[in-house]
Amino acid sequence: MATGLPIKKTAKGWYLSCRPAGKYGPQIRRTFARKRDAENFYFSEVEKARSGNYERTDNDNRRLNQLIKDWYTLHGCTLKDGEKRRQKLEALCKRLGNPLARSLTPSQWVEYRNQRIKEKKRGGGTISKNNVNHEQAYLSAVYGRLIKLKNWRHNNPLQGIEKLKLDKRKPFYLELSQITALLAAAEQSKNVSLVKRIKLCLATGARWGEPLKLTRTSFRNGAVNYEETKNSDARTVPISADLCEEILAGAPEKGLIFQGDARTAFENALIHAHIELPAGQLTHVLRHTFASHHVINGGGLKELQELLGHKHITTTMRYAHLAHGSLKQCLTTNPLASLGQ
């Protein structure tokens, strides 16, 4: 049988037996003279299923784990975080007891999440509401996507269920003295590229993983180009000539500049710098610090949106409270000021 494909060699040729739309979709059985023809036909039929050209029978007894597998085959595998999301969905499925996909009800889900936020985490504390909201979004997307692909004829049991309300917290950022201490601690790290990576994130607002995609050609015309980003939108951020020279010093002529995740090295640098971050934060504090200081120093929110690569200005507005310059007008525009008091 061809590796990973439902194709096998027979006396009459290459035999294909598959259900492109999943376990309960129509079955296809065909024999081809050439193996390549069988493979091409198989991939063509799978693509049709992804486009919604296959319909399931009404007697759909798939369990939730099978629904997740079908979602991954038809759509999830194309997502940048598809594999990570699949793993989270499979863990969620186990916690739910792997029910029949059509038997899950809104009340069952609400009951599950109410219990979920009371569970203890390994490192202490409880599962956050934000974590549970992500679980709800991921599972709802499984049903929703398969409905669009005509792969699921029943309803989406999570549709219309409001997410848990979160306490709105202002982003935590590092003060200048803390940045100095962090860089000094990073200089002592065994990870020789840690300082460069921290500086790059602080100077350009990069997410921690984005520098891992950079090569020498990413730095051109006084700017760094981030092409493989979280939302898949490329963005260009200006960078000083001095920092660019420092980043490229000793970098390979070809290939990636940075190697490895380095989160442990970063965490150790925080400890040595005596910096304590809010629960759940680590490397992303560098991005918050870039954005916060941009606004504090008079930078505009619209420009910040472009620099950070936010699709919606509402995401950038979380830093608006730092724009003290324009707010100070209230010192002279309030009614007491008009009375000279």
Q: Is 122 annotated as catalytic?
A: no
Q: Which amino acid type is present at position 50?
A: R
Q: Active-site residue 75, yes or no?
A: no
Count the Cβ atoms, other than its own, within 10 Å of residue 34. 10
Q: For the beta carbon of residue 217, count every other beta carbon within 10 angstroms.
A: 8
What is the number of residues in the chain?
341
How many whole angstroms separate alpha carbon 294 and alpha carbon 316? 12
Residue 230 catalytic? yes
Q: Is 312 a catalytic site residue? A: no
138 is an active site residue: no
Point out the catalytic residue in the list 287, 288, 293, 294.
Answer: 287
Active-site position among 230, 263, 302, 321: 230
- Of 207, 213, 272, 318, the active-site residue reads 207
Beta-ladder partners of 341: none
**Residues 126/74, Cβ–Cβ less than 8 Å:** no
324 catalytic? Reply is no
Active-site entry in 63, 163, 284, 318: 284
Distance CA 42, CA 217 (A): 39
Distance in angstroms (rounded) separating the CA atoms of residues 147 and 153: 6
Give catalytic residues, as residue numbers: 207, 230, 284, 287, 310, 319
